[in-house]
Structure 1
Amino acid sequence: MVSKALTIAGTDPTGGAGIQADLKTFQELGVFGMSVITSVVSQNTLGVRSFVDMHEEFIESQIDAVFEDIRPDAVKTGMLSNPSAIAIVAKKLKEYNVSQYVLDPVMVASSGHELISQEARQSVKEELLPLATLVTPNLPEAEALTGLTIETIEDMKEAGRILVEEYGVKAALIKGGHYKGEADDYLYNGTEFLKFSAKRFDTKHTHGSGCTYAAAITARLAEGDSLNQAVEHGKSFITSAISNPLEIGKGQGPTNHWGHRLTTK
């Protein structure tokens, strides 16, 4: 039987991030992708222009439409810009007893545009983190969630500890894309830290990399991988997507969602 994954997130009309990036990733990894739109975003590789949030009743209706027909094996959330949307998603995750849930805490676009209110940040911590199988913050997001200033590897690990031991998420993947040196990520599962390493590539074309990484992990969880296996596969997928740039767009271009095909040749 085909594995199925659901993304609950905002859009990107240029296709590099958000819902569009998630669905491309699901497809590339052989998983049937479904989507619930939380915000319609006007953006491109140069930045975010504006966005319109979907009403919470419409978000709820979309989620119900999916689960009442084609139940996903794993769920990912991305852009949830306000407390009302977060409350609805949390309610539905509990109602449908979702066991594989990846929380990508989208807070700031690659261009630097704020995508979430301060009130929503608190709602993420209180309502979504306790439900998540995995949270995947980059360093600015980890700082926003924990209140830490992250400058060292130990700071990254401490952020992971706080997210798991104080906020209740089952596991935290602190991504090192904004850190110096190699692109090392640290997964904390409440017992141990695991490091996932990759060479850092000198490219500006990383638009949508966080969405794509989390979507790849979600796809592998839907396929039945363990969390460690899913993160390992996700790391490999995003590394291939970044290391085989498409070099399109006038700004920070998108990652290459079929880069893994080139890497494995």
Structure 2
Amino acid sequence: MPPIFTPKPTPPLVLSFAASDPTGGAGIQADLLTLASMGCHPLSVITALTVQDTAGVDEILVIDSEWVMDQARMLLEDVPVAAFKLGMLGSPESMAVIAEILADYPDIPVVLDPVLASGRGDEFTTDDMISAMRDLLIPQASIITPNSHEARRLALFDSDDDDMDLAACAKHLIDLGCEYVLITGTHETTPRVLNSLYSLDGHVQTDAWDRLPGSYHGSGCTLASAIAATLAYGQEMPLAVREAQNFTYETLKAAFRPGMGQYIPERFFWAQDVQTEGNA
């Protein structure tokens, strides 16, 4: 009698909406690598194509919003998703259709990484896109993960006042409707990087990390995707955020520089350790 085939349990499925990055450092490629490394099965909806290298972005081709919607709807009618992750979304029209999709799945956690510019400073957003993000996506987000510059810009809409208190920014963003805000401190001048989590009740926790040398391409994408992975496994938000930071920090410590630009986080740092031990 042939053995009975027992299918393996399906890992948590996480759907990422993001632009393609040919370097594999950021964007959808960063999301896929991070989610896979953390034991999830990544699903993807491409929102834009880019011409870029490890130094910066030269051109962006935005995907039509109907294509964005069709990519997502076909997936969601077939498979159950445990978390959504939103990165660079391309246009206000795409943000609108994504918001419509999210509204149909109110019980699924949403991680919003408000990508406003590249590490070099290449602008990704218009005022209309920021307005759409504030009006349509932030109210549906379980957590948003801006760096300090992004937090100030989102809180003030058209200003980047470096003197604005980050706790006040967080309160303003929470008032827009999201459940949590994690403001990362890589762009601040503090001796250590301070990442602070806020909720409707105020400050939740601050985690401090040693500043690492170099400039990294895709660290924000990695962190947001790692939070989506931990939420997909059912963790509560404060622990999910802390574990995602631990993962991201390890990827940055193991980062490599394949070209003439920024370093790329090594999302499979643990596999490199295993290989090193096996060759010892």
Name the TM-score class by shorter chain.
over 0.9
Mapping 1:210-221, distance limit 5 Å: 210-221=220-231
Mapping 1:82-121, distance limit 5 Å: 82-121=91-130
Residue aligning to 2:208? 197
Bigger mean CA deviation after superposition, 40-49 or 208-217? 40-49
What is the alpha-carbon distance in structure 2 between the residues aligned to residue 115 and residue 98 of structure 1?
A: 29
How big is the shift at 1:260?
A: 4.8
What is the alpha-carbon distance in structure 2 between the residues aligned to residue 260 and residue 171 of structure 1?
A: 29
How big is the shift at 1:150?
A: 3.5
Amino acid aligned to 2:162: I
1:157 matched to 2:167? The reply is yes
What is the alpha-carbon distance in structure 2 between the residues aligned to residue 150 and residue 221 of structure 1?
A: 31
CA distance 1:158–1:260, change in 2 (3 Å): farther
Amino acid aligned to 2:143: L
How big is the shift at 1:263?
A: 7.8
Residue aligning to 1:176? 185
- Aligned residue for 2:59, secondary structure, equals strand
Would the aligned equivalents of 2:171 and 2:202 in 1 still touch at CA under 8 Å? no
* TM-score (norm: length of structure 2): 0.89
Gaps of 5+ in 1: none
- Aligned residue for 2:146, secondary structure, equals coil
Q: Deviations over 1:34-53 (max 9, x none)?
A: 10000011111111010111
How big is the shift at 1:13?
A: 0.5
- Aligned residue for 2:161, secondary structure, equals coil
Q: Deviations over 1:201-236 (max 9, x none)?
A: 1122x1001001000000110011111111011110
What is the alpha-carbon distance in structure 1 between the residues aligned to residue 19 and residue 127 of structure 2?
A: 18
* TM-score (norm: length of structure 1): 0.94
How many residues of Structure 1 are paired with residues of Structure 2 in the alignment? 261
Residue aligning to 1:251? 261
Question: Which one of 82, 85, 90 corresponds to residue 76 of structure 1?
Answer: 85
- Aligned residue for 1:197, secondary structure, equals strand
- Aligned residue for 1:184, secondary structure, equals strand
How big is the shift at 1:99?
A: 2.5
How big is the shift at 1:246?
A: 1.2
How big is the shift at 1:97?
A: 2.9
Residue aligning to 2:3? none
- Aligned residue for 2:47, secondary structure, equals strand
Bigger mean CA deviation after superposition, 5-14 or 244-253? 244-253
Q: Deviations over 1:148-190 (max 9, x none)?
A: 62347xx11111111102x111110011010122111110011
How big is the shift at 1:237?
A: 1.0
Gaps of 5+ in 2: 1-8
RMSD after superposition: 1.6
| Higher Rg | 2
**What percent of counterpart residues are identical?**
32
- Aligned residue for 2:174, secondary structure, equals helix
